Structure 1
Amino acid sequence: MTPELIQYLENIRYNSKLNRADETELISELETHIEDKLRELTESGLSPEEAIKTCLGEMGSTRLVARQIYEAYSQGSWRQVLMASLPHLLFGLLFALNWWQYPFWVSVLLVLTLATAVYGWWHDKPTWAFSWLGYSLIPVLAVGILLLYLPKGWSLLALPLYFPLALWWLFRIIVQTTRRDWLFSSLMLLPLPIIIGWFLAVSPTGKLTEFNLPRVYGFAPWIGMSFIALALTIGAFIRVRQRWLRIGLLAASGLSTLTLVVYYTTGRLNTPTFLGLVMVMWGVLLVPPVLERYLRSGRGIIWRHRKPPRPGLKQAA
């Protein structure tokens, strides 16, 4: 194929945001369709250049084709809805049923979350895996908080070592997820501002003590409700086809859930803290697309599915 056709197919591949299995099959079908069309046009008397121009004109712009492909393939099954919503539901039930006070159930849930996230990450990153991946970041935050309880000398030594490593690891995860689709990065990070908001409401100083436990008991039903609200959002996200609706769902859910946190904490989060959390939420929604644009412009576009043209098409290609 000519560089023009390769670039055309690569743009479709990049903008359609499919998983690797669907992407390979679809691009192969498009290649076959283009090759058949080029053969038909050249046999009708057109030159190779005219055949390519006519073929691409009939197919339409890459963005239009990619959008149609995305909407055709993006809708998840009800099984995927369940899998993607499940971590939000489990964490919601953990607080709604007051099981957060039992280390056994907390440990079981964290181990399940980590195991499921790792499984999904190494099995072609299905859409449902990114919800689990977001909650798998909780142990990373928890370790950072626990380091605050070390003796002062050890804490000052450990924190400067731990946080750069944790941020580097988080950045690598975000980059890899963004390469798949920046929407999945936003989906993955969506619970973090909510979790930070509840944590600051319970412990404004950043340290949990026995004096904070009554606050956790008081907030537990609303904490559970906020996670269940996220579960409903993710379920809708998996089922809708239009990309703009998915973006709107994440934005509306994140900001409304954050508002719910502030409302039910009855003034424990002051205005600067609330504005800071809103900025974090907007960062969750806006940084991934900016990062994706940077990654794309920085690395260039690499065609990963190129195959040699059929022998009968050498003249057309």
Structure 2
Amino acid sequence: MDALTDLLDGPRARGAFLLRATLDPPWSVRIRDEAPLTLVAMIRDDAWVLPDGGGPRAVRAGDVLLVKGPEPYTMADDPATPPQIVIHPGQRCTTPDGTSLSEAMDLGVRAWGNAPDGRTVMLVGTYQMRGAVTRRLLAALPQLAIVRGGTWNSPLVGLLGEEIGKDEPGQDVVLDRLLDLLLIAALRAWFARDGAERPGWYLAHGDPVVGPALRLLHDDPAHPWTVAGLAARVGVSRAALAQRFGRLLGEPPMSYLTGLRLAQAADLLRESDATLETVARRVGYGTAFALSTAFKREHGVSPQEYRATRPPVASA
């Protein structure tokens, strides 16, 4: 397993917020939902995204926009259009003065906007759950990442568009998985584009020394790894591995392993009902106490407190 596969395998959408937005100009939406990651696929017409503290950027039909939270931003038909709608945590929408717009903007099953046949059409998928497995991935992304339609070709946007308006048994799970696949495809295109500033772990995957070491760690994070043991498995000296690993990833191998273990522990706590003792063993900690101590040092809360925290669930 490579690092990108492992990072994308963890943050699976679970009750993600998805809708088709159709809007007629002039329109402007201020997004303050604090979501960790939002994907917007432009289907028809162009739009502008205006991050706080940054200049406006055009998003054209065929583009996929990735927005990293929790900072607010605005999407509009024109940079000069003042916000008319505000999206709050839990996907509650109001006017700027706080008047609810939930009923006025409801156009049917996962359909939203100011006009059923509006000129602008986009698909929106919001990951509302904060999962520690996404930390390295989010750290590698700018606040705004735009995958231009002319640089990649994927049938997933069309498939998501077909499924997003259906109201069938199990549809939420179908949409969650389609959103995951579209996110993975968009991220691969983003990192593979010409001139991309790829993160260290992405580049390290192709390194003849660090790449195999990363795959070993991700394949079996619970193994009692040492730098010496890891170096022996990849056929280099301990010093050579440590130096090369630090240069490419900016941290020592065992520090990387600790982050990986705690990230996977957070994912297990979020996604399963496994006991803390079971989670500890699965990620390489000898006892629940040892995991709890390391987890609280990293996340600022105990595993029990982390598990008890649930993200807001948006209404249909």
What is the TM-score of this pair, normalised by structure 1?
Answer: 0.28
Based on CA coordinates, which of the two structures has the bigger radius of gyration? 1
Q: Which has the higher contact order (CA 8 A, sep 6+)?
A: 1
Select the structure that is richer in strand. Answer: 2
Select the structure that is richer in helix. Answer: 1
